[in-house]
Amino acid sequence: MNYRTVIAFGSKNVDSILDRYAELLIVPREAGIKKAHISGLFFGYSQGIRFVFIAIVFYLASLFTKNYSLDSQEVFTGCYVVFVGAIGTGVSLSQMPSISKARASAKLIFGIIEEPSKIDPKQKGSENITHGRVEFKNIWFRYPSRKRAVLRNFNLTIEPN
């Protein structure tokens, strides 16, 4: 159904359709709001846990620095290296499902590409087409959803052989 179809119903019917559409959007909107609140809660929880972990690591690093007379720059550099490594590992592990899907798709595609053809184009005994001709003259084409033509005055001639 497009805009012209709806307008053809008349203004009274259009208002009725819009009211019905608004009614149908109430339940998905409320579900979306509920889902957003739950997602926000879990995101906040995960970020909170992350910062609590970082705080504990820095607290322990400060205790090691104080109690064992370690160089604070080296201790905190070590903490930084561990954090960056953990972040890199997390990002890498999050991509594992995509990598396995890509491998399966590549295997399927290469299986199709490497499948031997049942047609041998070099085989003897095939005949050349010696007569006939295919010709298109002044072809115009546009997609129904577009105003601009894709093909304008397109001409193509395919000769035999």
Q: Is 134 helix (H, G, I), strand (E, B) or coil?
A: strand
Helical H runs in 9-160?
11-67, 72-94, 96-113
Distance CA(29)–CA(26), nearest Å, equals: 5
Position 71 scores a pLDDT of: 93
Q: Is 141 helix (H, G, I), strand (E, B) or coil?
A: strand
Look-up of token digits 């690093």: 61
pTM listed for this prediction: 0.43
At 113-152, the pLDDT tens digits run 888 877 676 777 656 667 788 899 999 998 888 888 889 9
Distance CA(53)–CA(87), nearest Å, equals: 13
Position 9 scores a pLDDT of: 66
At 29-77, the pLDDT tens digits run 999 999 999 999 999 998 899 899 889 999 999 999 999 999 999 999 9
Position 67 scores a pLDDT of: 94
CB 132 within 8 A of CB 160: yes
Burial class (CB in 10 A: 0-12, 13-18, 19+), 65: middle
Q: Shortest CA distance to 56 belongs to which of 68, 46, 67, 64?
A: 64
How does residue 110 score in pLDDT terms, banded at 50, 70 and 90? very high
Q: How do the domains of the chain map onto residue ranges? A: 3-122
